[in-house]
Amino acid sequence: MNVQDIVSTVSQEAGLDPATAEKVVGIILSVLEHEAEGTTLSSFFAKIPGADGLAQKYDVMAAGAASGGGLLSSLQGALGGVLGAKTGALINGVAALKASGLDLAQIRQAGTTLIQQAETAAGPQLTNEVLASVPSLKGHLGL
């Protein structure tokens, strides 16, 4: 199973158009890429061909990735600076998910489906290890 298979399943299960599903999956993978560390993440991405490329396409730490600017962008920058880049990636990722126009139920369904598909592709143990290295992600996805 490659990342496009996962995107297609997220699109169907969460009722999202394919472009939005790709963006959501890419954002979540980007948060994992920035926050999870070490060989566990590289092993996880190796089990899902295309995951690293999609994470880079929707890089939450790229300039202007989370929002169009304004107060929210300033707040994210300040929090990221105070709390560190890892927390900044999570804050930016959550903001980008909300900015994509999805409601909490859609984000929750997309996140749940992504995790289920990742467990199928990479195995439950490896997926859980990666998610455990970013404990606050599940809370922000409402899982």
pLDDT (tens digit per residue) in 34-63: 988 777 999 999 999 999 999 999 999 986
The pLDDT of residue 87:
58
The CA distance from 118 to 131, in Å, is 11
Three-state DSSP at 29 gives: helix
How many Å from the N-terminal Cα to the C-terminal Cα in the chain? Answer: 23
pTM: 0.83
Query: When comparing pLDDT for 139 and 29, which is higher?
Result: 29
- For residue 95, the tally of other CB atoms under 10 A from its CB is 19
At 98-112, the pLDDT tens digits run 888 888 889 899 999
Which pLDDT band holds residue 90 (cuts at 50, 70, 90)?
A: confident
CB-based contact 32:115 (threshold 8 Å): no
pLDDT of residue 104: 85
Residue 64 pLDDT class (50, 70, 90 cuts): low
